[in-house]
Amino acid sequence: MDSVTPPPPPKLLDQLRERIRYRHYSLRTEQAYVHWVKRFIFFHDKKHPKDMGKPEVEAFLSFLANEGRVAISTHRQALSALLFLYRDVLAVELPWLSEMGRPKTPKRLPVVLTQTEVRRVLDRIDDQTFQLMARLLYGTGMRLMECVRLRVKDVEFERREIVVRAGKGNKDRVTMLPESLVDSLKAHLDRVREVWLADRAAGRPSVELPDALDRKYSSAAAEWAWFWIFPASAESTDPRSGVVRRHHVYEQGLQRAIKRAVQVAGVAKPASTHTLRHSFATHLLQSGYDIRTVQELLGHSDVSTTMIYTHVLNKGGRGVVSPLDR
Protein backbone atom coordinates (compact mmCIF):
# COMPACT_ATOMS: atom_id res chain seq x y z
CA MET A 1 0.00 0.00 0.00
CA ASP A 2 1.42 3.32 -1.07
CA SER A 3 2.05 5.74 1.74
CA VAL A 4 0.31 9.10 1.51
CA THR A 5 2.75 11.93 1.09
CA PRO A 6 1.91 14.69 3.57
CA PRO A 7 1.32 18.11 2.05
CA PRO A 8 4.23 20.51 2.24
CA PRO A 9 4.10 23.01 5.11
CA PRO A 10 2.74 26.45 4.21
CA LYS A 11 5.23 29.04 3.11
CA LEU A 12 6.44 31.56 5.66
CA LEU A 13 4.42 34.49 4.33
CA ASP A 14 1.29 32.33 4.22
CA GLN A 15 1.93 31.38 7.85
CA LEU A 16 2.32 35.06 8.64
CA ARG A 17 -0.99 35.92 6.96
CA GLU A 18 -2.78 33.06 8.72
CA ARG A 19 -1.53 34.18 12.13
CA ILE A 20 -2.48 37.81 11.48
CA ARG A 21 -6.00 36.78 10.49
CA TYR A 22 -6.25 34.51 13.52
CA ARG A 23 -5.52 37.58 15.65
CA HIS A 24 -8.19 39.53 13.73
CA TYR A 25 -5.77 42.22 12.65
CA SER A 26 -6.89 44.57 9.91
CA LEU A 27 -6.12 44.09 6.23
CA ARG A 28 -3.87 47.14 6.36
CA THR A 29 -1.84 45.64 9.19
CA GLU A 30 -1.57 42.38 7.26
CA GLN A 31 -0.33 44.14 4.14
CA ALA A 32 2.16 46.23 6.12
CA TYR A 33 3.57 43.28 8.07
CA VAL A 34 3.93 41.13 4.94
CA HIS A 35 5.68 44.02 3.21
CA TRP A 36 8.25 44.49 5.99
CA VAL A 37 8.95 40.79 6.43
CA LYS A 38 9.57 40.46 2.68
CA ARG A 39 11.91 43.46 2.73
CA PHE A 40 13.76 42.01 5.71
CA ILE A 41 14.27 38.68 3.94
CA PHE A 42 15.41 40.26 0.67
CA PHE A 43 17.69 42.66 2.55
CA HIS A 44 19.58 39.60 3.82
CA ASP A 45 19.68 37.85 0.43
CA LYS A 46 16.61 35.64 1.04
CA LYS A 47 18.00 34.10 4.19
CA HIS A 48 15.27 32.45 6.28
CA PRO A 49 14.40 34.49 9.41
CA LYS A 50 14.78 31.43 11.67
CA ASP A 51 18.46 31.44 10.71
CA MET A 52 18.82 35.10 11.69
CA GLY A 53 18.67 36.97 14.95
CA LYS A 54 19.38 40.24 16.70
CA PRO A 55 22.33 41.38 14.51
CA GLU A 56 20.33 40.94 11.29
CA VAL A 57 17.26 42.69 12.71
CA GLU A 58 19.34 45.60 13.98
CA ALA A 59 21.20 45.86 10.67
CA PHE A 60 17.92 46.05 8.77
CA LEU A 61 16.40 48.65 11.11
CA SER A 62 19.62 50.67 11.03
CA PHE A 63 19.51 50.67 7.22
CA LEU A 64 15.92 51.94 7.28
CA ALA A 65 16.78 54.75 9.69
CA ASN A 66 20.08 55.86 8.15
CA GLU A 67 20.04 55.04 4.44
CA GLY A 68 16.30 54.79 4.01
CA ARG A 69 15.62 57.83 6.23
CA VAL A 70 12.15 56.52 7.02
CA ALA A 71 9.83 58.28 9.43
CA ILE A 72 9.83 57.20 13.06
CA SER A 73 6.31 55.77 12.70
CA THR A 74 7.47 53.70 9.71
CA HIS A 75 10.51 52.49 11.63
CA ARG A 76 8.31 51.41 14.56
CA GLN A 77 5.96 49.59 12.20
CA ALA A 78 8.81 47.63 10.64
CA LEU A 79 10.05 46.63 14.09
CA SER A 80 6.55 45.54 15.13
CA ALA A 81 6.27 43.39 12.01
CA LEU A 82 9.53 41.60 12.77
CA LEU A 83 8.66 41.10 16.43
CA PHE A 84 5.32 39.61 15.39
CA LEU A 85 7.11 37.31 12.94
CA TYR A 86 9.50 35.93 15.55
CA ARG A 87 7.12 35.73 18.49
CA ASP A 88 3.82 34.71 16.87
CA VAL A 89 4.82 32.90 13.69
CA LEU A 90 8.21 31.33 14.38
CA ALA A 91 7.52 31.03 18.13
CA VAL A 92 11.06 32.15 18.85
CA GLU A 93 11.51 33.41 22.39
CA LEU A 94 14.89 35.07 22.45
CA PRO A 95 16.14 37.57 25.03
CA TRP A 96 16.93 40.19 22.44
CA LEU A 97 13.30 40.47 21.37
CA SER A 98 12.42 42.45 24.47
CA GLU A 99 15.64 44.43 24.28
CA MET A 100 14.93 45.93 20.88
CA GLY A 101 14.52 49.65 21.40
CA ARG A 102 11.65 51.47 19.77
CA PRO A 103 12.47 54.96 18.51
CA LYS A 104 10.59 57.59 20.46
CA THR A 105 8.02 59.61 18.58
CA PRO A 106 8.67 63.34 19.06
CA LYS A 107 5.88 65.26 20.73
CA ARG A 108 4.25 67.54 18.18
CA LEU A 109 1.31 69.85 18.64
CA PRO A 110 -1.56 68.92 16.30
CA VAL A 111 -2.46 71.14 13.36
CA VAL A 112 -5.76 72.83 14.21
CA LEU A 113 -7.98 75.01 12.05
CA THR A 114 -10.01 77.88 13.41
CA GLN A 115 -13.79 77.60 13.07
CA THR A 116 -13.66 80.15 10.27
CA GLU A 117 -10.99 78.14 8.43
CA VAL A 118 -13.02 74.94 8.85
CA ARG A 119 -16.07 76.58 7.25
CA ARG A 120 -13.97 77.90 4.38
CA VAL A 121 -12.51 74.46 3.70
CA LEU A 122 -15.83 72.58 3.97
CA ASP A 123 -17.60 75.05 1.68
CA ARG A 124 -15.01 74.48 -1.02
CA ILE A 125 -15.44 70.72 -1.34
CA ASP A 126 -17.34 70.34 -4.61
CA ASP A 127 -18.36 66.70 -4.43
CA GLN A 128 -21.61 66.30 -2.47
CA THR A 129 -20.69 62.99 -0.85
CA PHE A 130 -17.17 64.06 0.08
CA GLN A 131 -18.52 67.28 1.59
CA LEU A 132 -20.94 65.27 3.74
CA MET A 133 -18.11 62.97 4.85
CA ALA A 134 -15.86 65.91 5.69
CA ARG A 135 -18.64 67.55 7.73
CA LEU A 136 -19.09 64.27 9.59
CA LEU A 137 -15.37 64.13 10.37
CA TYR A 138 -15.44 67.61 11.86
CA GLY A 139 -18.88 67.30 13.45
CA THR A 140 -18.26 63.96 15.18
CA GLY A 141 -14.50 63.65 15.69
CA MET A 142 -14.36 60.36 13.80
CA ARG A 143 -11.16 59.13 12.24
CA LEU A 144 -11.05 58.83 8.45
CA MET A 145 -11.51 55.04 8.26
CA GLU A 146 -14.19 55.09 10.96
CA CYS A 147 -16.24 57.36 8.73
CA VAL A 148 -15.52 55.41 5.56
CA ARG A 149 -16.59 52.12 7.18
CA LEU A 150 -19.91 53.35 8.57
CA ARG A 151 -22.91 51.12 7.95
CA VAL A 152 -26.59 52.06 7.85
CA LYS A 153 -27.28 50.44 11.22
CA ASP A 154 -24.64 52.61 12.92
CA VAL A 155 -26.71 55.80 12.69
CA GLU A 156 -29.36 56.49 15.35
CA PHE A 157 -31.40 59.37 13.95
CA GLU A 158 -33.87 59.58 16.82
CA ARG A 159 -31.15 59.66 19.45
CA ARG A 160 -28.88 61.83 17.27
CA GLU A 161 -26.01 59.38 17.74
CA ILE A 162 -23.50 57.51 15.63
CA VAL A 163 -22.06 54.23 16.89
CA VAL A 164 -18.44 53.93 15.83
CA ARG A 165 -17.72 50.22 15.44
CA ALA A 166 -14.29 48.64 15.90
CA GLY A 167 -12.42 51.91 16.10
CA LYS A 168 -8.75 52.17 16.98
CA GLY A 169 -7.89 49.33 19.33
CA ASN A 170 -10.97 47.45 18.07
CA LYS A 171 -13.20 49.40 20.48
CA ASP A 172 -16.76 50.64 19.96
CA ARG A 173 -17.89 54.07 21.09
CA VAL A 174 -20.76 56.52 20.64
CA THR A 175 -20.46 60.05 19.29
CA MET A 176 -23.02 62.68 18.40
CA LEU A 177 -24.86 63.07 15.10
CA PRO A 178 -24.85 66.82 14.37
CA GLU A 179 -28.36 68.21 14.04
CA SER A 180 -27.29 70.21 10.99
CA LEU A 181 -26.41 67.01 9.11
CA VAL A 182 -29.60 65.01 9.78
CA ASP A 183 -31.49 66.08 6.65
CA SER A 184 -28.51 65.81 4.30
CA LEU A 185 -27.58 62.39 5.68
CA LYS A 186 -31.14 61.12 5.27
CA ALA A 187 -31.20 62.37 1.68
CA HIS A 188 -27.85 60.69 1.06
CA LEU A 189 -29.17 57.39 2.44
CA ASP A 190 -32.16 57.60 0.11
CA ARG A 191 -29.74 57.70 -2.82
CA VAL A 192 -27.60 54.91 -1.37
CA ARG A 193 -30.65 52.72 -0.91
CA GLU A 194 -31.19 52.81 -4.67
CA VAL A 195 -27.67 51.42 -5.10
CA TRP A 196 -28.43 48.67 -2.58
CA LEU A 197 -31.71 47.79 -4.32
CA ALA A 198 -29.95 47.65 -7.70
CA ASP A 199 -27.29 45.31 -6.28
CA ARG A 200 -29.95 43.01 -4.84
CA ALA A 201 -31.96 43.00 -8.07
CA ALA A 202 -28.82 42.15 -10.07
CA GLY A 203 -27.91 39.32 -7.71
CA ARG A 204 -24.52 40.82 -6.88
CA PRO A 205 -22.58 39.44 -3.89
CA SER A 206 -23.44 41.02 -0.56
CA VAL A 207 -21.13 43.30 1.39
CA GLU A 208 -18.39 41.95 3.61
CA LEU A 209 -19.28 41.33 7.25
CA PRO A 210 -16.78 41.68 10.10
CA ASP A 211 -15.46 38.78 12.16
CA ALA A 212 -16.95 36.05 9.95
CA LEU A 213 -20.50 37.04 10.91
CA ASP A 214 -21.65 35.85 7.49
CA ARG A 215 -21.15 32.27 8.70
CA LYS A 216 -23.37 32.83 11.72
CA TYR A 217 -25.94 35.05 9.99
CA SER A 218 -25.82 33.99 6.37
CA SER A 219 -28.46 36.45 5.16
CA ALA A 220 -27.29 39.50 7.15
CA ALA A 221 -24.82 40.67 4.50
CA ALA A 222 -27.67 41.26 2.05
CA GLU A 223 -29.70 43.33 4.52
CA TRP A 224 -30.04 47.09 4.19
CA ALA A 225 -28.84 47.60 7.78
CA TRP A 226 -25.40 46.21 6.93
CA PHE A 227 -24.90 48.17 3.71
CA TRP A 228 -22.21 50.83 3.52
CA ILE A 229 -23.31 54.42 4.11
CA PHE A 230 -20.60 55.46 1.66
CA PRO A 231 -20.41 52.65 -0.91
CA ALA A 232 -17.95 52.63 -3.78
CA SER A 233 -19.31 53.46 -7.22
CA ALA A 234 -18.12 50.12 -8.63
CA GLU A 235 -17.35 46.62 -7.47
CA SER A 236 -13.86 45.43 -6.62
CA THR A 237 -12.13 42.20 -5.65
CA ASP A 238 -11.89 41.43 -1.96
CA PRO A 239 -8.13 40.94 -1.39
CA ARG A 240 -8.66 38.20 1.19
CA SER A 241 -11.58 36.18 -0.13
CA GLY A 242 -11.25 36.96 -3.84
CA VAL A 243 -14.98 37.72 -4.01
CA VAL A 244 -15.97 40.54 -6.36
CA ARG A 245 -18.35 42.75 -4.38
CA ARG A 246 -19.16 46.37 -3.56
CA HIS A 247 -16.75 47.78 -1.02
CA HIS A 248 -16.95 51.09 0.82
CA VAL A 249 -15.63 54.18 -0.94
CA TYR A 250 -11.86 54.47 -1.08
CA GLU A 251 -10.51 56.94 1.46
CA GLN A 252 -8.03 58.48 -0.98
CA GLY A 253 -10.84 60.29 -2.76
CA LEU A 254 -11.84 62.19 0.36
CA GLN A 255 -8.22 62.89 1.24
CA ARG A 256 -7.63 64.45 -2.17
CA ALA A 257 -10.86 66.44 -2.00
CA ILE A 258 -9.90 67.96 1.35
CA LYS A 259 -6.37 68.71 0.19
CA ARG A 260 -7.76 70.59 -2.84
CA ALA A 261 -10.27 72.46 -0.66
CA VAL A 262 -7.52 73.59 1.72
CA GLN A 263 -5.55 75.00 -1.21
CA VAL A 264 -8.57 76.72 -2.78
CA ALA A 265 -9.58 78.17 0.59
CA GLY A 266 -6.14 79.71 0.95
CA VAL A 267 -5.49 78.06 4.32
CA ALA A 268 -1.73 78.11 4.88
CA LYS A 269 -1.61 75.06 7.12
CA PRO A 270 -0.72 71.41 6.35
CA ALA A 271 -4.31 70.34 6.97
CA SER A 272 -5.65 66.86 6.24
CA THR A 273 -8.65 64.73 7.10
CA HIS A 274 -7.21 64.14 10.58
CA THR A 275 -6.93 67.89 11.09
CA LEU A 276 -10.74 67.98 11.22
CA ARG A 277 -10.63 65.55 14.16
CA HIS A 278 -8.03 67.73 15.90
CA SER A 279 -10.19 70.77 15.29
CA PHE A 280 -13.29 68.99 16.65
CA ALA A 281 -11.54 68.26 19.95
CA THR A 282 -9.98 71.69 20.23
CA HIS A 283 -13.21 73.58 19.56
CA LEU A 284 -15.11 71.48 22.13
CA LEU A 285 -12.53 72.35 24.78
CA GLN A 286 -12.69 76.00 23.78
CA SER A 287 -16.46 75.84 24.27
CA GLY A 288 -16.01 74.68 27.85
CA TYR A 289 -16.61 70.92 27.61
CA ASP A 290 -14.58 68.91 30.12
CA ILE A 291 -11.61 66.83 29.09
CA ARG A 292 -13.24 63.50 30.06
CA THR A 293 -16.19 64.10 27.76
CA VAL A 294 -13.89 64.91 24.86
CA GLN A 295 -11.81 61.83 25.66
CA GLU A 296 -14.89 59.58 25.38
CA LEU A 297 -16.03 61.16 22.14
CA LEU A 298 -12.58 60.69 20.60
CA GLY A 299 -12.22 57.13 21.88
CA HIS A 300 -8.93 57.73 23.67
CA SER A 301 -8.10 55.00 26.20
CA ASP A 302 -5.91 57.38 28.20
CA VAL A 303 -6.82 60.97 29.03
CA SER A 304 -3.16 61.96 28.59
CA THR A 305 -3.66 61.52 24.83
CA THR A 306 -6.52 64.00 24.93
CA MET A 307 -4.55 66.47 27.02
CA ILE A 308 -2.53 67.52 23.97
CA TYR A 309 -5.54 69.55 22.84
CA THR A 310 -5.46 71.73 25.94
CA HIS A 311 -2.64 73.69 24.32
CA VAL A 312 -5.28 75.93 22.77
CA LEU A 313 -6.36 77.08 26.21
CA ASN A 314 -2.85 78.36 26.90
CA LYS A 315 -2.92 81.38 24.63
CA GLY A 316 0.48 82.77 23.73
CA GLY A 317 2.89 80.84 25.92
CA ARG A 318 0.57 79.43 28.60
CA GLY A 319 -1.48 82.61 28.90
CA VAL A 320 1.49 84.80 29.75
CA VAL A 321 1.43 88.32 28.31
CA SER A 322 4.67 89.19 26.54
CA PRO A 323 6.57 92.12 28.09
CA LEU A 324 6.67 93.63 24.61
CA ASP A 325 2.89 94.09 24.81
CA ARG A 326 2.89 95.82 28.19
Query: What pLDDT shows up at residue 97?
Result: 63
Three state DSSP letters for the chain: CCCCCCCCCCCHHHHHHHHHHHCCCCHHHHHHHHHHHHHHHHHCCCCCHHHCCHHHHHHHHHHHHHCCCCCHHHHHHHHHHHHHHHHHHCCCCCHHHHHCCCCCCCCCCCCCCCHHHHHHHHHCCCCHHHHHHHHHHHHHCCCHHHHHCCEHHHEECCCCEEEECCCCCCCCEEEECCHHHHHHHHHHHHHHHHHHHHHHHCCCCCCCCHHHHHHHCCCHHHCHHHCECCEEEEEEECCCCCCEEEEECCHHHHHHHHHHHHHHCCCCCCCCHHHHHHHHHHHHHHCCCCHHHHHHHHCCCCHHHHHHHHHHHCHHHHCCCCHHHC
CATH code for the part of the protein at 12-99: 1.10.150.130
Class level of CATH domain 115-312 = mainly alpha
**Is 278 marked active-site?**
no
**Is 143 marked active-site?**
yes
Spans of all domains in the chain: 12-99, 115-312
Q: What is the mean pLDDT of the chain?
A: 89
Range in 16-25, 44-53, 216-225 the model is least confident about: 216-225
Torsion of CA 294, 297, 299, 303, to 10 degrees: 10
β-pairing, 231-237 with 244-248?
Answer: antiparallel
| Residues ≥6 apart with Cβ < 8 Å to 7 | none
**Is 188 marked active-site?**
no
d(CA 135, CA 116): 14
Instruction: Tell me the per-residue pLDDT of 78-107, one tens digit each, with 9 for 90 and over.
Output: 999 998 999 899 988 766 666 666 667 777
**Is 300 marked active-site?**
yes
Q: Which of 38, 44, 168, 311 is an active site residue?
A: 168
Q: Which of 17, 277, 278, 283 is an active site residue?
A: 277
Instruction: Tell me the per-residue pLDDT of 167-221, one tens digit each, with 9 for 90 and over.
Output: 777 789 999 999 999 999 999 999 999 999 999 999 988 898 887 676 777 788 8
Q: Which of 17, 124, 143, 149 is an active site residue?
A: 143
Q: Which of 200, 245, 274, 311 is an active site residue?
A: 274
Entry field: residues in the chain = 326
Q: What angle do CA 150, 152, 157 make, to 5 degrees?
A: 105
Half-sphere exposure of 5 (CA within 13 A, CB side): 3
Range in 146-150, 158-162, 171-175, 209-213 the model is least confident about: 209-213
**Is 289 marked active-site?**
no
